[in-house]
Amino acid sequence: MSAILAVDIGTTSAKALVITSSGTVSVSERITYPTHRPRTGYAEQDPEQLSACITSLMNDVIRKGTEKIDAVAFSCAMHGVMAVDERGHALTPLIIWSDLRAREAAAQISKEHRDMHALTGTPIHPMSPLTKLVWMKKNQPELFKRAHKFIGIKEYLWYRWFGTFVVDHSIASATGLMDSQKLTWSSTALAVAGIREEQLSKLVGVHTPFTSEQVNATYGLAPRTPWIIGSSDGCLATLGSDVNTNANALSVTVGTSGAVRKMNTQAGIDPAGKTFCYCLDKARWVHGGATNNGAVLIDWYTQKFLREPIDLNTFCARATKVQPGSAGLLMIPYLQGERSPVYDADASGVFLGVRHHHGTEHFMRAILEGIGFALMDIADALMEGNTNMEVRASGGLSLSAEAMQVLSDQFGMTIHVQHREDASAIGAAIIACEALKIPFQFADEPPRIYQPNMNNHQLYRKLFSIYKGLYSHLADDLHQLNALQF
C-alpha cells in the first residue's frame, strides 16, 4: 500500500493530505491566503505569499504523517496568469480567474475571433489567460515586452523546485491558448494574444514525474521520491468524485464558486458555446460549466447583512426554515458576473419578487436556491435530455445536509456525497497512483444519499422556467447600471 502527498492549490486556500492507495486519509491540513482587489474588478494574489504558504503547508503535513511518502502530486486552480523574467521572478501579481479587467478584450475576441472557443475548448471570457494577455499587451505594453514567460502558479512553483518551465495539458487546456485537438499551443491563439510559443511553458502529460534529491531533502522525503505534475482542480474534482467515462453521473462541486461536469472519452465542443471542454489526458476529457457564484454569496450576505457571523451550516439551517420557493422571492445570483452559461462579466445579482412579508430567512433561502438554479442552468446544457443520472457532490457546501437536500429537490436527482470535500486532492492522488502503476481504491465508506422530494421538484421546475428567462430580459438594464458605476 502506497502513500501519496496530494496538494490542491485552490483560489482561497491550499489543502494537503496524505492518502493511501486504498483511499484512507491519514493527515489533512489547510492554509488560507488573501486575494487583493486594488481596483474594482481586479483579483490578484502574491505568488511569493502563495509559495510560502504552500511550502509551510507541505512541511506541516509531512511532519505530522507517519507513512513513507511514495509520491507527491498536485491539483491546481485554473485560469491564473502572471509575467515572469528569465530567472522566474514575478513581474506582475498572479491574476486569478475571478479578475474581470479583461472584459473589453473578451468582447473584442468574441466579435473578431468567434471560432476561438471551438479551437481551444475554453469559453471566451475575462477569466481566461488569453483575454488577460490581450489586456496586458494593450494596458501594460512595456511590462508585456519585458516578460520572459507567461505562467500560472503551479508553473511558478515548479520552476522554483525543478528549474524548468512546464505545464500539464490539463491546466494548459483552460488557458484559451492550446489547440484541444492537437494538444499543442495554438498558433492562432498565440497570434491573438501577441506572444510567441517560447513565452509559454513546455507542455507535458499529467502523469509526468520530476525528482530532485535537493528538493526532496528540503521536505524530508526519500531522495528519489517522484513529484507528479498532476492536473487542474476541475478535472481532478471530477475524477476524485468517481465520475469517470463510464459513469452515468454528474460531478457537482460547490465551494466559493461552483461547477457541473461530466467525463467523456474524447474532446467535444458545445456549438452553443455554453460549456467548456478541458483535457485530463488523451483518453479523458471533462465537459462542463462553472459559476462564479457559489458559497461566496453566503459569505457576502453574512458579512453585509447579519448582525453576527455564522458558519455555513448555520446559514443553511436557518435558510431552510422557510418553505421551498422562498415565498415567491427569486434570486439571480450573478454577484461576481457569470461564466456558464451566459458568460457575461457585467452581469449582476438580482432579487425578484420582494414583498413586505419577506424577512432575513427568506433572503437566505433565496440565495441558497439561487446557487442551485445557477448549477441547474449548467446541468441542463450537459445532460442533453438525459435526466436518468445521479449527482456526486463535493466542495464545502456538500457538508451541509440542508443545502444538499435543496439541491436534490431542485435537480430532481439523487445526490451522493462521499465525504469528499477534498475531491481535487483525491483526484491528484489517483493520478499519482496511475503514474506509479498501482491501483487506487476509494475508501469503503457509505455515502450520504439525498433523495429528491418530487413535489418540491415540480415547484422548482416552475421557478426555474422563470429564472431561465430573467437574465435575457434584464441583461441590457444590468449593463447600463454597471456602466453608471464604473
Is residue 486 scored above 60 in pLDDT?
A: no
Q: How confident is the model at residue 245 (pLDDT cuts 50, 70, 90)?
A: confident
Render pLDDT for 352-411 as a digit per residue (tens, 0 to 9): 999 999 999 999 999 999 999 999 999 998 987 777 888 999 888 999 999 999 999 999
In a domain, 299, yes or no: yes
Same domain? 290 vs 158: no
My answer on whether 99 and 164 are in the same domain is yes
Between 17-21, 336-340, 354-358, 368-372, the lowest mean confidence (pLDDT) is in: 336-340
Residue 426 resides in a domain: no
User: What mean pLDDT comes out for the span 328-338?
Assistant: 95
What is residue 461's predicted lDDT score, i.e. its pLDDT?
97
Residues 466 and 334 in one domain: yes
Q: What is the CATH number of the domain that holds 340?
A: 3.30.420.40
Domain boundary among 212, 234, 256: 234
pLDDT of 196-213, one tens digit each? 999 999 999 999 999 999
Average pLDDT over residues 450-464: 98
Q: Within this chain, do residues 186 and 107 fall inside the same structural domain, yes or no?
A: yes
Residue 433 lies in a domain: no
Residues 391 and 484 in one domain: yes
pLDDT in tens, 283-305: 999 999 999 999 999 999 999 99
| Residue 227 and residue 256 in one domain | no
Same domain assignment for residues 91 and 182: yes
Confidence of residue 224 (pLDDT cuts 50, 70, 90): very high
The count of C-alpha atoms lying within 13 angstroms of the C-alpha of 373, restricted to the half-sphere facing its C-beta, is: 28
- Residue at 460 is within a domain: yes
**Cα separations in angstroms, 61 against 6, 11, 58, 193, 335:** 10, 20, 5, 40, 36
Per-residue model confidence (pLDDT) at position 420: 60
Domains held by the chain: number? 2
The answer on pLDDT for 121 being more than 90 is yes
State the Cα–Cα distance between residues 275 and 265, nearest whole angstrom: 16
DSSP, res 11: S
In this structure, is residue 392 part of a structural domain? yes
Could you tell me the pTM of the whole model?
0.92
- pLDDT for the residue 419: 66
Determine the average pLDDT of the residues in 208-222.
98
Own/partner contacts of 109-112, CB < 8 Å, gap of 24 or more, are: 109/134, 109/192
Q: Are residues 168 and 87 in the same domain?
A: yes
Per-residue model confidence (pLDDT) at position 272:
78
Do 138 and 102 share a structural domain? Answer: yes
Query: Has residue 438 been placed in a domain?
Result: no
**Could you tell me if residue 137 is inside a domain?**
yes
Question: Cell numbers of 61, please?
Answer: 503535513
CB 139 within 8 A of CB 160: no
Name the domain boundary from 189, 210, 234: 234
Q: Are residues 143 and 121 both part of a single domain?
A: yes
Q: Quick one: pLDDT band at residue 474, thresholds 50, 70, 90?
A: very high
**Band of the pLDDT at 113, cuts 50, 70, 90?**
very high
pLDDT given for residue 444 in this prediction? 81
pLDDT class of 34 with cuts at 50, 70, 90: very high
CA 282 to each of CA 164, 185, 231, 285: distance values in angstroms, whole numbers, following the listed order: 23, 15, 13, 7
Q: Residues 102, 132: one domain?
A: yes
Domain boundary among 210, 234, 258: 234
In the chain, what percentage of residues exceed pLDDT 90? 85
Query: Among 48-52, 114-118, 193-197, 481-485, which stretch is predicted with the lowest mean pLDDT?
Result: 481-485
Q: 180 and 63 share a domain?
A: yes
The mean pLDDT of 129-145, rounded to a whole number, is 98
**Average pLDDT of the chain, as a whole number:** 95
Mean pLDDT confidence for 155-178? 99
Work out the average pLDDT over 441-453: 91
Q: Which domain holds residue 26?
A: 3-234
Question: Per the domain annotation, does 436 fall within a domain?
Answer: no
Neighbouring-strand partners of residue 331: 351
Query: What is the pLDDT at residue 421?
Result: 64
